């Protein structure tokens, strides 16, 4: 068998993993027939899973941590909230069940924080707008390569959706703070309370001496359902609810609560609603529970807390119920052929509308990026901004790059 050499990026994983020492990437050449372990291929950052698990087995925890943190600036965070595609690929799962790769990462990462403090900044200054997972990762990588990154963040603290969206029971904030502090110790400058488009723009950043600008503002605006009655009182957006809650506010959630959606925001919103005082929480989802994009473990935890999931149900209208709450008119669905996502397409069932009633409704059906920083020329500039060079991630605006959710669409922390 021969490997497609064009796919190889000479990352060195094979050389590190080979137990015999027979592999050497001399002159960036790859041995014929090599294929990385499936867990490495499945990992979005190509973490050397076999290597760090072997080091844990040997009790060499610090060395295991170093292997994890070679490619991942958030080892303890990903040890908690990563959707662990490596485990789905793990060959052990064909025998009984996959190795607990995420938990092993958490086990060793919680024992070490190795900072590489740098008092010198690179000569080339890079502006990074957004201090979430993508912005912090970019700053971390650039600082280690000798550049001088500066973060601009509109919130008062760094972390992005890790801080203002993921609940504490999934990601304790002391763990988040610890890993962000380690990243910033590389000499990365920070500017908080700064909003791109209002407080600064591309031209002003370049005039300040920045050689390039990276946009990493995430996707923190909710997608509307687009059905009648969506603006009625008592209807909230999941992203707004989570953001307000993690800023220390207490959004009003009362009585019986319906959550529309099936992703992580829907699950997090439903569990947060219980903590805000909802008497009962039911999730409405238009597909079956097997097609829910949320993490399986999070679905089970929500069910353990008493949250009900009503599948094959799609809201088509909201009505005010005589001042006594909200009437949610729904359509029963059936599953058809797979769509572009690979999941069965939900199809409306004829003559099958029904109503459910609630005091509060939380909508969590998707996210999008806020591109208002493009200003009055948004229609013209948005086309240029979203035309990314796949090799460099440079937008159609010279010197402006994009990464993370604003470039790829909503995704996970890893």
In Å, how far are 7, 147, 208, 211 from 125, measured between CA atoms? Answer: 32, 6, 10, 6
Q: pLDDT tens digit string along 96-152?
A: 999 999 999 999 999 887 666 554 566 789 999 999 999 999 999 999 999 999 999
Which residues, 6 or more positions from 111, have their beta carbon under 8 angstroms from its beta carbon? 61, 65
Q: pLDDT tens digit string along 368-403?
A: 888 888 875 555 667 777 788 888 999 988 999 999
Helix crossing, 49-57 with 101-109: angle to 10°?
60
Angle subtended at Cα 179 by Cα 176 and Cα 181, rounded to the nearest 5 degrees? 105
How far is residue 381's CA from residue 404's CA, in Å, rounded to a whole number? 19
Report the pLDDT value the prediction gives residue 256, as an integer from 0 to 100: 96
How far is residue 261's CA from residue 338's CA, in Å, rounded to a whole number? 19
- Tokens representing 412? 């996970």
- 91 burial via Cβ count (<10 Å: 0-12, 13-18, 19+): exposed
Q: Specify the 3-state DSSP secondary structure of 125.
A: strand
How far is residue 159's CA from residue 180's CA, in Å, rounded to a whole number? 7
- Are 413 and 144 a contacting pair, CB within 8 Å? no
Fold classified for 222-367: FAD/NAD(P)-binding domain (3.50.50)
Any idea where the domains of the chain sit in the sequence?
5-109, 125-220+369-408, 222-367
Which residue bears the tokens 């939900």? 346
Whole-structure pTM value = 0.86
What is the dihedral angle through the alpha carbons of 261, 356, 358, 171, rounded to the nearest 10 degrees? -20
Q: pLDDT tens digit string along 36-59?
A: 789 999 999 999 999 999 999 999
pLDDT at 249 over 70: yes
Indicate the pLDDT class of residue 13, thresholds 50, 70 and 90: low
pLDDT at 10 over 80: no
Question: Taking the CB of residue 34, how many other CB atoms lie within 10 A of it?
Answer: 17
User: What is the enclosing helix (H) or strand (E) of 39?
Assistant: helix 38-42
Fold classified for 5-109: Fumarate Reductase Iron-sulfur Protein; Chain B, domain 2 (1.10.1060)
User: 5-109 and 222-367: same fold?
Assistant: no
Indicate the pLDDT class of residue 299, thresholds 50, 70 and 90: very high
Architecture of domain 125-220+369-408: 3-Layer(bba) Sandwich (3.50)
Looking at residue 305, the DSSP 8-state letter turns out to be: T
């Amino acid at each position: 068998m021969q490997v497609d050499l064009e796919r190889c990026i000479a990352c060195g994983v094979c050389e590190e993993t080979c137990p015999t020492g027979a592999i050497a990437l001399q002159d960036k050449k790859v041995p014929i027939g090599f294929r990385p372990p499936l867990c490495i291929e499945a990992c979005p950052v190509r973490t050397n899973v076999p290597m760090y698990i072997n080091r844990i087995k040997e009790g060499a925890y610090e060395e295991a941590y170093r292997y994890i943190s070679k490619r991942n600036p958030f080892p303890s965070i990903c040890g908690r909230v990563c959707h662990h595609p490596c485990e789905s690929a793990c060959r052990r799962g064909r025998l009984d069940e996959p190795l607990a790769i995420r938990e092993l990462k958490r086990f060793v990462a919680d024992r070490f924080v190795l900072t590489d403090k740098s008092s010198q900044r690179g000569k080339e200054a890079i502006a990074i707008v957004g201090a979430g997972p993508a912005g912090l990762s970019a700053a971390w990588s650039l600082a280690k390569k000798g550049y001088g990154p500066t973060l601009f963040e509109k919130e008062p603290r760094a972390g992005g959706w890790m801080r203002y969206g993921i609940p504490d029971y999934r990601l304790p904030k002391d763990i988040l703070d610890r890993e962000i502090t380690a990243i910033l110790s590389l000499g990365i400058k920070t500017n908080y309370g700064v909003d791109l488009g209002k407080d600064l723009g591309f031209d002003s950043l370049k005039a300040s001496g920045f050689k390039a600008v990276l946009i990493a503002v995430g996707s923190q605006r909710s997608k509307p359902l687009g059905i009648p009655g969506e603006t009625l009182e008592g209807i909230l957006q999941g992203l707004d609810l989570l953001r307000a809650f993690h800023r220390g506010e207490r959004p009003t959630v009362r009585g019986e609560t319906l959550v529309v959606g099936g992703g992580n925001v829907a699950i997090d919103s439903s569990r947060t609603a219980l903590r805000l005082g909802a008497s009962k929480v039911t999730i409405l989802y238009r597909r079956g529970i097997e097609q829910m994009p949320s993490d399986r473990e999070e679905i089970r935890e929500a069910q353990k807390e008493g949250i009900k999931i009503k599948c094959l149900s799609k809201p088509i209208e909201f009505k005010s119920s005589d001042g006594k709450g909200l009437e949610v008119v729904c359509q029963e669905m059936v599953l058809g052929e797979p769509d572009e996502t690979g999941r069965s397409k939900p199809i409306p069932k004829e003559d099958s509308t029904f109503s459910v009633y609630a005091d509060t409704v939380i909508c969590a059906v998707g996210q999008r990026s806020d591109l208002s920083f493009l200003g009055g020329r948004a229609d013209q500039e948005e086309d240029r901004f979203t035309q990314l060079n796949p090799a460099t991630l440079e937008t159609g605006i010279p010197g402006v790059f994009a990464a993370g959710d604003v470039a790829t669409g909503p995704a996970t922390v890893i």
